[in-house]
Amino acid sequence: MRIESASFGEHHWSRQSFLSEINNDLGYYYTAEDLETGKVIGYCGFWLIQEEAHVTTIAVAPEYRKKSVGELLLQQIVDACYENMAKWITLEVRVSNVPAQNLYYKYGFKSLGARPKYYQDNDEDALIMWTENIWNTNFKEMFEVLKNELNKKFEVSKV
C-alpha cells in the first residue's frame, strides 16, 4: 500500500481492491523484492482474458525508481504471458508519463488511441498501447535481446 499511494496518489487502489485483484481468477500479480533487505520494492499485474493480457498495474517504490525495477517487472509480465499462451499485451498509460511510455515503446508497444479523461484524479487522458503478437519472431527476438542486456547489467553491478 505504501508503494501504491506513493505511485498513484490519492486515487490509488484501496486495500480491498488489492485483495480483490489477488483473488481474481483472471489476475496474475508479481512482486519485486530487494534481496538484501527482503523488502517489497515493486509489483505488477495483468488480467488474462483468452489470448489478451491487460496490464493492470506496474509500480516501483520511489527510492528504487530509475534502477530498472520497472523494466524487470515488465519482463515478468511478458514471460508470464508466454507461459499462459497470451498473444497480445495491452495497457493504458497517462499521456504525461513519458518515462513509462518510453519503456513500453522500447518493448514494442505501439500507441493505438486514447481514452479521454481516463484518470479520475485530474481527468488526464490515457494512451492505449498494444504489442504485436508476442509469438511473432520479431517480437520474440527483440524481447530476448532486451532480457539479455538487462541480465548483463545486473551481473556487472554485482561484481
Catalytic residue, from 104, 107, 118, 155: name it: 104
Catalytic residue, from 28, 43, 71, 92: name it: 92
The closest of 88, 89, 97, 87 to 118, measured between CA atoms, is 97
Give the angle subtended at the CA of 8 by the CAs of 48 and 157, to the nearest 5°.
80
Q: Note if 104 is an active site residue.
A: yes
Q: Note if 43 is an active site residue.
A: no
Helical ranges in 53-136 per DSSP H: 69-83, 98-106
Contact 70, 31 (CB under 8 A): no
Specify the long-range contacts of residues 25-32, CB closer than 8 Å, at least 24 apart. 27/56, 28/77, 28/80, 28/84, 30/73, 30/76, 30/77, 30/80, 32/60, 32/69, 32/72, 32/73
* Burial degree of 36 (CB within 10 A; 0-12, 13-18, 19+): exposed
Q: Which residues are catalytic?
A: 92, 104
